[in-house]
Every structure is written in structure tokens, then in C-alpha cells.
Structure 1
Amino acid sequence: MRDDGLDRAIDAAGGVAQLARKIGISQPSVSNWAKVPAQRVIAVEAATGIPRTELRPDLFGGRGLSEGTVEPVDAARAQEYALLATLLSAPPSRKLLDQLATLTGDATPVGSAHAVLAEAASAAVPAQIEREYFDLFVGLGRGELLPYASYYLTGFLNERPLSRLRADLSASGIERVANNFEPEDHASILCEIMAGFAEGRFEASSDKQRAFFEKHVSSWMGRLFADLESAENARFYRAVGALGRLFIGIETEAFTFAN
């Protein structure tokens, strides 16, 4: 029996087959779900616009930001990381694009990037963004970009950066979810982990966050976002690249100052 969150996601996607297609897995896999698997929550959120707190309230409800115990700066950091994780994990749904179109900017660099992203979202066509996402990150054989730490740091996939990351995640008690076939050094997963640190979903001192960021994120992710800004197939995602590059730069400066 499906839970309410999964039923809402299927309805929003237009059926089981459409949901499976949007997140890039087989229809029988989705048909066998009783609830959205933890490793698929971000992709389903991006594809349907149903927030993770409704897809899996047992994982994301009543914790972190909702408790009001997180500092405002960390809450904002968590939201920025979560946004980047969502947009890197799957093409955004019409509902999510409508939400992004309401973003308001300010005079700061990130505020200006939000305004550009809102403008791009307001003009976007979901079917075109699905194709853009495919060309950028999936492709026939491979996409234009490979958003993995191992590739950016060594030129190859599944290399030592991934094994070092897995060791650090294990030491932090963050376990790989069964049937998640995406390597943990994918940019969306790393952004999700940083969001979890910032909002208190994963326990980590400021020093531990800084060490993780410097070892697994800042060493390469800024280059990924810069490449995304100039990618041949990027249109909507050019604005995502600009936001990501600016935000990672701010995080780098903040952790350096704190250190």
C-alpha cells in the first residue's frame, strides 16, 4: 500500500510511468515502492514539486529548520545547498519552476543570482529543461559535464576521492542507502550532505563541517559550477551555475575566516 507522499508524487507527475521517466528509473521500480526511498526524495521533489517534508515526513518533518533551533545564517545556508542539490539531482518540475520564479533578489551577488534564476525559471519550458538536463548530465553514453568529485580531481570516475569520501561518511554515521546507484561524490549528494550539516540533520561541529567542505566540496565544485555557466547545452542551467559558483565562493571565504 502506497503512503500519502508517494501517491501525491505520482499524481503530480501524471502517473507511475511519468514519474519513473522524470527521475530516470524503470517503471517497475516505482511500482514496487510503498513510499519514496530516501535516496530518491530529492529527485522526486525536483521532478514533481512536492516538498520532501511531505514526501518523507519521517525523514524531513519536525527536524532541523522546523524546530527553530538553527541559527538564521545556517538556515539560509541549508536552504541554498538544498536548492542546488534539488536542481542538480533532476530537472525541475513546472511547480518548482513556478516557485523559483517568485524568488526575489537584492543588492548582494547571491541576491542578484537569485533574480537571474527567477527570470530563467519564469521563461522556462519543462520539456526543454528535461532535454537540457539530459544533454548536460546524462547524454548518450555521457553528458557534457560529469558532476563527480573523482572526475574533477583525477580525471576518472570512482577513484580515490570517492573512497575517501565514503570513509568520512562512514565515520560520521552517514550510511549509503540501499539501491542508490549514484556514487556519493555526485555534486547533488554532497550539497544534500552540506544542507544536512547546516540544518542539524547530521551532527557536525563547525570544525567538522569546515573540514568536510574543504576536503570534498571546495576542492572542485566551484569549477563544476563555472563549467556549467559556460556549457554549450546550458540555458536555464547557466543561471544555476552562476548561483552555485557564487555560493561556493562565499562558503569558502566564510570557512577560511572562521578558521
Structure 2
Amino acid sequence: MSQVTSVQAEIASEDADRAILYGFIGRMLQAAPSNEDLQAIRGLQSDDTPVGQALAGLSAAAESATAENLSRAYEDLFIGLGRGEFVPYGSYYLTGFLHEKPLADLRATMSRYGIERSEGVSEPEDHIAALMQMMEGLISGDFGQVATLDEQRQFFVEHIGSWAGHFFKDLSATDTDAFYAAVGALGRVFMAVEADAFAMTE
């Protein structure tokens, strides 16, 4: 039997679910999923909640997707020749340019929480995938301790809530690839749920 750590014991089941969803969305936007990933996504459980319906849509989109096709779609959407269809960085969405004040503000917050950029990563830290994974880590305690709800809300408001919903809305409307449009729909719904929940705790 595996032993539950003290950090794990501090996390309520609904918060563990939130962390998992943040991490999942982050991984979908960090790189194209493998065929093994797609097989798991096809088997996702869903319910009648907005997030559950979005997960069902993603599962359905995965039915006809292949890792090879999604690798090409990821390249077209986020990398391209010079730039992709989307520029998934907070600074760009908020100012129209990369490496602007939103990135500097994020780096200051990362330093405060002891969050370091992974070795070998060249992209600015305000990439949407990195921000999703930072929220995952704050909720789950991966950065040393579980962030309080106030700390989670502050991070979300300062670095995610002001632009991620717009990014996911744009991605959900793409006709480049149905799977990534479904990822966008899931992100848009989840960001709205998180924003509403945080607003209720103020």
C-alpha cells in the first residue's frame, strides 16, 4: 500500500481534480499528444457539468485524431514558419509584444514561490502551458507547500485570468484542427469556472 504524504493529505479531492485538469490542459499545449495519450483521452469519463461536457467533446475529437496529424497541427498552430496561428504567451496577448512587463511580473512571482524554469526550455515562462502547470504545482504542493486559496487566486488573477480565457476562446474557434479546438473549448470553460469560483472567495 502506498503511503499518503503530508502534502497530499492537505489537498481536498476537488482541489486534486483541479490540479489534474490544469496539468492535463498544460500538457496538451506543451506538445502534441502521443497515440497512447489519445487512447486515454478517448476513454475520459464525463458528466453533465460544463467541464464534463467539454471533456466529452475532447474525447469525441480524439476518436479520429492521430499523433502524426496532431504533431503537424501543433506545429501549424503554435510554431509555424516564424510564428504559428496563435502566440500563446501572456505578454503577447496583453501587450501585443513578447518579453514585456507581464513576463517580468510573472518572473518575480515565480521567484517568490521558488518556481524555476526547467532546464532546456527556451520559451518565455508566460507560455500558456507553463502557466497551467504552475497552477497545478501551486495547488498540489509541487513547489514545496500547498498554496493557500488566496495565493492561488492572486496567481490566477495576476497571471492567467486577464488573458487565458481570450486565448482559449480563440483556440476553440480554430478550423485548423478539431482536437485543438476541443482543447480550447475545455480551457475556456475551465477558466470561466475558476474565475467564478475565485470571485466568490474574495
Same fold per superposition (TM over 0.5) = yes
Q: Does 1:244 align with 2:187?
A: yes
Q: 1:169 to 1:63 in 2, by over 3 A?
A: farther
Q: Partners in 2 of 1:204 and 1:182 — Cα distance?
A: 25
Alignment-mate amino acid for residue 213 of structure 1? F
CA distance in 1, matches of 2:58, 2:25: 12
Specify whether residues 62 and 235 from structure 1 end up closer, same or farther in structure 2 by C-alpha distance, changes over 3 A only: farther
Q: Where does residue 159 of structure 2 map in the other structure?
A: 216
Alpha carbons 1:65, 1:75 under 8 Å: kept: no
Check whether the contact 2:75–2:84 (CA below 8 A) recurs between aligned residues: yes
Higher relative contact order (CA 8 A, sep 6+): 2
Q: Which residue of 1 aligns with 2:149?
A: 206
> Aligned ranges for residues 1-259 of structure 1 at < 5 Å?
67-202=8-143, 203-259=146-202
Larger radius of gyration between Structure 1 and Structure 2 = 1
Deviations 1:103-160 (A, max 9, x none): 1221111111111111111211221111111100000110000000000000001111
CA deviation after TM superposition for structure 1 residue 204, in Å: 1.9
What is the CA–CA distance in structure 2 between the aligned matches of 1:135 and 1:62, rounded to whole Å?
44
Normalised by the size of structure 2, how large is the TM-score?
Answer: 0.93
Cα gap change, 1:183/1:105 in structure 2, threshold over 3 Å: closer, same or farther? same
In structure 1, C-alpha distance between the alignment counterparts of 2:188 and 2:6, rounded to whole Å: 24
Contact map agreement 1:64 1:199 (CA 8 A) in 2: no
Cα 1:149/1:131, change in 2 over 3 Å? same
The gaps in structure 2 that reach 5 residues or longer are none
- What's the TM-score, normalizing by structure 1? 0.73
Assess if the C-alpha contact under 8 Å between 1:101 and 1:118 holds in 2: yes
Contact kept, 8 Å, 2:7 with 2:141, in 1: the verdict is no
SS of 2:157's equivalent? helix
Which aligned segments of 4 or more residues in structure 1 are displaced greater than 6 angstroms?
Answer: 61-66
1:64 and 1:201 in contact (8 A); partners too = no
Q: Distance in 2 between matches of 1:117 and 1:106?
A: 13
In the alignment, structure 1 segments of 5+ residues that lack a partner are 1-60
Number of matched residues? 199
Looking at structure 2, the residues matched to 91 and 131 of structure 1 have their Cα atoms a distance apart, in angstroms, of 9
The two structures, once aligned, show a CA RMSD in angstroms of 1.9
How far residue 161 of structure 1 moved from its aligned partner, in angstroms, is 0.4
The CA distance in 1 between the partners of 2:78 and 2:199, in whole Å, is: 31
Q: How big is each residue's C-alpha offset from its partner over 1:45-81, in whole Å with a ceiling of 9 and x where there is no partner?
A: xxxxxxxxxxxxxxxx988799444201100100100
One-letter identity of the residue aligned with 2:58: L
